Copies of this chain bind each other. A is one copy, B any other.
């Protein structure tokens, strides 16, 4: 997701930055940069330019090592209560076989993570997490509340198959039924006698699947088979893509929002179910925030620039007064300029507002807009 921010500085490997089952394969396939995510290596670039991989993702199909999307498994009698307590999304009608995007918040409504939550069965959930140790928050709450739950990180290493040709590729392996899976549904599919949980999901808007590999040996055979059988679809290795994810406004925890932001500031309104009967942390706080109106808000921004390498937030100003900060940005070939995600203070978060950003000591102009960009 940072594929253009090449620093020319190496990553020092250690056990602490865990490898994935696919690590040796992606390194042979031309990996050139890693980021880290949930204490694990996440590929960030291969031997092609960011633009080449962007068009490839939008036209063909890629296989991604996203094992760094770790699972927090919560099971046991009180698992429903614990999972619901952590999210402002009403899960009371949730169904086995469905994925739910869920902002996780604390008692002050600050964001702790934004996993995709899978209801595995009646008393078992997987929270497919962004980059923070949600398992520790869940453990702390469960201990404090004396809940009867079992919380662990299971051995699940996701590979994603993304791009418009992912449907044809996956059909060739798993048959017609996998193309009938609805968006954010999951089911079990057979590969050479081994069942794999596969969801129609993924961190791009180009369509595709995430394969939650529990049987590593079978998963590695499947990885190799995807490349073997995928030649006719021009399959390539890839990774979450900075241009595509900003254009699509797939927000990134730690980049676009964190523990200092709440879901209403991030535009997660439809996942904030304040009128529901369910109890969750921060509910009263969110009601107060909603009544008073948010004091800052995530917006899109178009900047008069054709190149940027963002490695920290940059101040956004109007008449030298700080009105917000730029949190993610990339050059978009679609818009032929830099686009970004910015947190903007009240009352400046109106579309078409002109703003300024100082980049490399030069003042650049930008304009606020809605997200997603496409």
Cβ of A33 < 8 Å from any Cβ of B?
Answer: yes
A-B contact pairs, 26 of them (CB 8 A): A2-B12, A2-B16, A6-B10, A7-B11, A8-B10, A9-B10, A9-B11, A9-B33, A10-B10, A11-B33, A12-B44, A14-B35, A14-B310, A15-B311, A16-B255, A17-B36, A39-B131, A39-B254, A112-B136, A112-B139, A132-B133, A133-B136, A135-B259, A140-B142, A141-B144, A143-B144
In chain A, positions 112-138 with a C-beta closer than 8 Å to chain B are 112, 131-138
Cβ of A365 < 8 Å from any Cβ of B?
Answer: no
- Determine if A33 and B14 form an interchain contact, defined as CB atoms under 8 angstroms apart: no
Contact of A14 among B2, B39, B138, B141 (CB under 8 A): B2
In chain A, positions 179-233 with a C-beta closer than 8 Å to chain B are none
A140-B31 Cα distance, complex, nearest whole Å = 38
Task: Please encode chain A, from 248 to 260, with 1 for each CB lying within 8 Å of some chain B CB and 0 for all others.
Answer: 0000111100010
- Determine if A45 and B8 form an interchain contact, defined as CB atoms under 8 angstroms apart: no
Contact of A144 among B144, B253, B309 (CB under 8 A): B144
* Chain A interface, >50% SS class: mixed
Closest to A8 in B: B10
- Determine if B16 and A5 form an interchain contact, defined as CB atoms under 8 angstroms apart: no
Cβ of A3 < 8 Å from any Cβ of B?
Answer: yes
- Determine if A36 and B36 form an interchain contact, defined as CB atoms under 8 angstroms apart: yes
Cβ of A71 < 8 Å from any Cβ of B?
Answer: no
Residues of B within 8 A of A27 (CB): 9
Residues of B within 8 A of A11 (CB): 7, 9-11, 33-35
Residues of B within 8 A of A143 (CB): 106-107, 140-141, 144, 281
